Amino acid sequence: MAVWALGINHTTAPLDLRGRFAFALDQIAPTLQSLRQTLAGAGHHPQIETALLSTCNRTEIYCAAERPALEHTLDWLAHSGGVRPELLRAHIYAFENVLAARHAFRVASGLDSMVLGEAQILGQMKDAVRAAESAGALGSTLNQLFQRSFAVAKEVRSSTEIGAHSISMAAAAVRLAGQLFEDLAKIRVLFVGAGEMITLAATHFAAKNPRTIAIANRTLERGEQLATRFGGEALRLADLPERLHEFDAIVSCTASSLPIIGLGAVERALKKRRHRPMFMVDLAVPRDIEPEVKQLGDVYLYTVDDLASVVQTGQAQRQAAVAQAEAIIDAGVQSFQRWLEQRNPTGGVVPLIQQLNTQADAWRAVELARAKKRLAKGEDLDAVLEGLARGLTQKMLHGALAELHAGDAATRTQTAQTVARLFLRSQSKSSL
């Protein structure tokens, strides 16, 4: 079986493009059905396995079939978002086989998140897997991939400090509000939506004891439940335009495909407020608040991408844990690779060559990513290059050195001869 993954995230695509590929949970089943029909029609295995992960920061497709179909998958995704494949290709990333597994493990562990080590993505991946399973799209290969992802993520969180000092989007919003308002206990806060992100944001704001809290939601019953939890008031979305002026801070995150707070409504609210400032956070993808609102002089509007610089605070303290987490992921990838090989015993030297190339590519990708992060932090170029070379050398020699220290004397002698033949070939030839 071939495994592949492709997607866009907060590092490869702007917010408005990501918004075109945002799928609500109730859209997952028909979306996966469409993808499977497309790939089957393109001549691939009719029992193709698929899963779709869609969050405010990423949309990713995972597939398994007898043959890889990255191009057909890309074309289907571009069509679903109404963009040309050429445009999407400029913003997409794609992985096959063990590299796809490595990516899934890194995502589940929070190493690929805007907030390094954040835990919310793991729950979102589990939701995506349940949705794929309910849609009948999850087979044994992808099930193994994701279950191993969850196990690796659990080990990373329990064995490292990767999640320490994590600043969530909700906490970042409170921090920004505190920069605008002198005393958060004196402001009125409105939350639009009643999902997980809004619950998290309301929890953070409630800790500051604001003057009032209100929840506006399409389903009034759900809004009332959340409002009761925080001692607040529930509103209907239909009442929002007439009540908007009452609130100093608005945090919105719904699954609406169109903006629900428009420029005109905010302009009228500002007029009623006599232009007292409004703090607005739009955590939705696609946007809940029309982007033109940001141009208004008395409005401070932040999107998920605007919060990126805030959530980076504390990243440096966790970098030391990244290498440890990557080692755990390496072990998980190798285990998954062995599982795939057991299901597809092909024999011969070609698979071994492919595995060596894949492993070398994986090592290169890890060290290159680490070097780029160090350069982004402003570290000396020569020191970064030295670290890159040293990291690759250590990875390449680790297995051979470990074998040289293992086994009895006869085994070590045989291993030494093999290692010398593999690694010291040029020196041996020059001495003849």
Contacts of 247 (CB under 8 A, 6+ apart): 188, 189, 190, 214, 278
Exposed/middle/buried for 156, CB within 10 Å: 0-12, 13-18, 19+? buried
Contact 97, 70 (CB under 8 A): no
Q: Determine whether 63 is an active site residue.
A: no
Catalytic residue among 56, 138, 169, 226: 56
Please give the single-letter amino acid code of residue 177. Answer: A
Please give the single-letter amino acid code of residue 291. Answer: P
CA-closest candidate to residue 96, choices 124, 76, 75, 67: 67
Contact 118, 163 (CB under 8 A): yes
- What is the Cα–Cα distance from 292 to 144, expressed in whole angstroms? 45
The b/e string for 223-250 (b: 16+ C-beta within 10 A; e otherwise) is: bbebbeebebbbbebeebbeebbebbbb
- What is the Cα–Cα distance from 214 to 104, expressed in whole angstroms? 38
Chain-centre distance for alpha carbon 276: 37
Number of Cβ within a 10 Å radius of residue 384: 17
DSSP-derived secondary structure letter, 346: -
> What stretches of 218-330 adopt beta strand conformation (E)?
233-236, 249-252, 278-282, 299-303
Which residues are marked as active site?
56
